[in-house]
Chains A and B, each alone.
Chain A
Amino acid sequence: MSEWGALDRFLQTDPRDVGCEQAMAILHVYVDLVASGADAEQRYPGVAAHLAACGPCDEDFHGLLAAVRAAD
């Protein structure tokens, strides 16, 4: 059973997950919080839950964070 941990994690759904639309709508706010060292995950748990489950949105999050850090 433990060999399928990755499958189990993939199938798990988090009721706090806000979905792509809401997460992307405030991604800039979330990223500025992360870049400033604030606890973005605590402030926006639904966005954090979404980024943990959605590969494409997580990729966008890391892209935006990289752009902000490169400019600072």
Chain B
Amino acid sequence: MSRGIDSVTVDGFDVESREWVSALGRASGPDRHAAEARLHAMLLRVARGELRRRSPSLGISGAEVDDVAHQAAADAMMAIISKLRTFRGESRFTTWAYRFVVLEVSTKLGRHFWREHGVSFDPGDWDRLPDRFGVHPAHVAEARDLAAALRTAVETELTERQRQAFVAIVLNGTPLDAVVVEFETNRNAVYKMMFDARRKLRAALVAKGYLSSFDVRQVDE
């Protein structure tokens, strides 16, 4: 980074955050190098911790996990240095920095899943649907009508892209971040696609009398 500390606004930062921004904002020198080394060690520790936290659902282990941790820390480090001027002190600097590495871990795990398993848009067996939503086996027969209505709604109400996303994520259990890679887009775009799909499907099931227009979340609160 070529700009110096004068280009970084530090007003209103907590003491530790100000120290980080000051050291990393220097053009060069031992303080800058020491801060970069500390930051990298911190990011690597957070990446490893996050991968450990997610380990039950990862499907990767050993050296591969550590490789992902190192890649996530390195990419987060580059992003933090290049975006240092955008840090406005709304949170602690360390929390702001951790966010980069946690998001890098997510992205890399989505890409890893996509590379290893791919994304299938084949709906296969729609009878799996009750199981996906935890319907008790004793009630599966009763639920068949609703499952059929949902299938019809998926096939008639959704756009092709929405249908693909629904099948991959809901029926086949593919992580959303892997669908992001397959569609060559970003998480927000796939989420929005699914958000619109959910709204259309619920409206269709309410119109046919399978679901109530009542907001079930009010019961949960």
Contact = CB atoms under 8 A, between A and B. Distances in A.
Contacts of B148: none
Given A4-B146, A11-B201, A66 B49 contact: yes
Interface residues of A, number: 40
A24 B202 CA distance: 27
Contacts of B210: 1
Given A10-B133, A64-B95, A56 B175 contact: yes
Given A17-B195, A64-B102, A32 B53 contact: no
Given A4-B146, A10-B198, A70 B49 contact: yes
A9, A28, A64 interface centre (most CB from chain B within 10 Å): A28
Main secondary structure of the interface of B (DSSP, over half): helix
B54 interface: yes
A28 B191 contact: no
Given A12-B202, A20-B187, A29-B91, A60 B135 contact: no
B20 to A, nearest CB: 13
Contact of A7 (B102, B133, B186): B133
Interface string B112-156: 000000000000000000000111100100110010001000000
Interface of B: 46, 49-50, 53-54, 90-92, 94-96, 98-99, 102-103, 105-106, 110, 133-136, 139, 142-143, 146, 150, 170, 175-177, 186-188, 191-192, 195, 198-199, 201-202, 205, 210-212, 215-217, 220
